[in-house]
Amino acid sequence: MSDTLYLQLDENIEVHHPHVYLQDIAKLSCSSPQILNRLRVLPVVNLDPKKPGRYVMSVMDLIEAIQKKEPSLDITHIGEPNFVITYDKGIQPNPIWRWAKVIFVCLASFFGAAFSIMTFNTDVDLSTLFGNIYQQVTGESSGGFTILELSYSIGLGLGVLLFFNHFGRMKITSDPTPMQVQMRLYENDVNTTIIEDISRKQEHKDMKSN
């Protein structure tokens, strides 16, 4: 009875050195510890050390390399058929530049959100609406700052905190925040686009060669 290798791959794997081995990009399980140890250090690809970025590979390339080293081994693949290797040198950016970017993003987000809220309030003429409601309920003219405006302001802030599900490092619930969900969706879309673009370019080259 031949041994079986289980090979699990994620859609995007980050590495910090140009010489990539199988254990760097895949989770491996095998009934033979000897075979497993040999395959862990199997070279997969040598990237250009001067060119960090994303590189697309197919699981078929891995299976072909494994079969050359272990011809009698049964391989069961679990995961993505194509995957992206993200090569990052792991060099920490300048702390001043990093904090400058954080401050810029915070200011842009704060003033952008404030501008959006103000334009929405102006568009629907919220001040006039509150004034009419206050006059109908109390019979008095609104001075522009009543319980309605105060409740709206407090409720708007609390609503934002509850919606985004965190304040600083403190999370209200254990669920992922809407921002985390959107970032994961964005990452998945980027990975899918990169893989599809490379596949189309390869198909185009094959059609030209034929």
Look at the chain and report how many structural domains it folds into.
Answer: 2
pLDDT score of 104: 93
Low-confidence ranges of the chain (pLDDT < 50): none
Q: What is the DSSP letter of 94?
A: P
Q: What angle do CA 49, 53, 55 make, to 5 degrees?
A: 95
Q: For residues 161 and 181, what is the distance between their CA atoms, to the nearest angstrom?
A: 16
What does the chain come to in residues? Answer: 210
Look at residue 110 and tell me if it is in a domain: no
Residue 61 lies inside a defined structural domain of this protein = yes
Q: Which of 87, 102, 136 is the last residue of a domain?
A: 87
At 81-93, the pLDDT tens digits run: 888 888 887 777 7
- 38, 67, 87: which is the final residue of a domain? 87
Give me the pLDDT at residue 103, please: 92
pLDDT by residue (tens digit) across 100-143? 988 998 899 889 888 988 898 888 888 888 888 888 888 888 77
Task: Tell me, yes or no, whether 28 lies in a domain.
Answer: yes
Which of 87, 121, 149 is the C-terminal boundary of a domain?
87
Asked, for residue 135, whether it belongs to a domain, the answer is no
Which pLDDT does position 210 carry in this prediction?
A: 61
**Is 174 inside a domain boundary?**
yes
Pick from 4, 9, 12, 8: which is nearest to 189 by CA? 12
Q: Is residue 148 part of a domain?
A: no
Q: Contact 83/57 with Cβ under 8 angstroms? A: yes
Residue 159 lies in a domain: no
**CA-CA distances (angstroms) from residue 145 to 40, 121, 134, 153?**
69, 15, 10, 11
Q: Report the CATH number that the domain containing residue 18 is assigned in CATH.
A: 2.60.480.10
Residue 26 counted as domain residue: yes
185: containing domain: 165-210
